[in-house]
Structure formats: C-alpha cells, structure tokens
Amino acid sequence: MATMVSKYKYNPTDFASMPFICEDLTEFYHAHEQHRLTKTKNTRFELERLGRNLFFTVKHRVVEGRLTPMQAEEIYDYLEELMDD
C-alpha cells in the first residue's frame, strides 16, 4: 500500500487495539488519496464503500463501549468532510 500523502486528523495506529478500525481507517485514507488524484466514478464509489464500512465499524466499537458516542460523532463528521472534498 502506498504511503499516505496527506495529514489526517485520526492516525490509524491510535486505534490498533480496536478491532478493524485501524485497518478500515487505513483503507479509507488510501481510497481518499486515490480519489483526490484521479476523481473517477470508480474511486468515488470505493471511497463511499469504505466510508460505509468504517461507519459500521465505529458504530460497533460504540456498542462495545470502546468509543463514546461523542467520539464516534467526531469521527463521522470528519469522514463526511473528507468525502465532500
């Protein structure tokens, strides 16, 4: 996987102890970089797909009590901003 060019608010390794968030966030950021570079329908579709996966992963961590609802809302808002780029 390519090195991420942009600086992001949430570092995937900060979530290494939470199942799937680290991986999903890394994949989402990679897709975001790809979409920023090419702006195709395919890269947009992939970004949205990975965003939905990440949404549900975060939701599951809230249910488990690993993230607070407020933390989840902050993450959701940030991801939405990135997707609107």
Q: What is the pLDDT of residue 6?
A: 64
37 or 85: which carries more pLDDT confidence? 37
Report whether pLDDT(75) > 80: yes
Separation of alpha carbons 82 and 60, rounded Å: 21
Task: Give me the residue spans of the domains in the chain.
Answer: 19-83
The predicted structure's pLDDT at residue 19: 86
Q: Is the pLDDT of residue 23 over 70?
A: yes
- Whose CA is closest to 51, among 76, 71, 85? 76
CA–CA separation, 5 vs 19, rounded Å? 25
Q: At what angle do helices 41-64 and 69-83 cross, to 10 degrees?
A: 180
> Contact 21/58 with Cβ under 8 angstroms?
yes
Q: What is the mean pLDDT of the chain?
A: 91
CA pair distance 35, 81, nearest whole angstrom? 14
Q: What is the pLDDT of residue 2?
A: 43
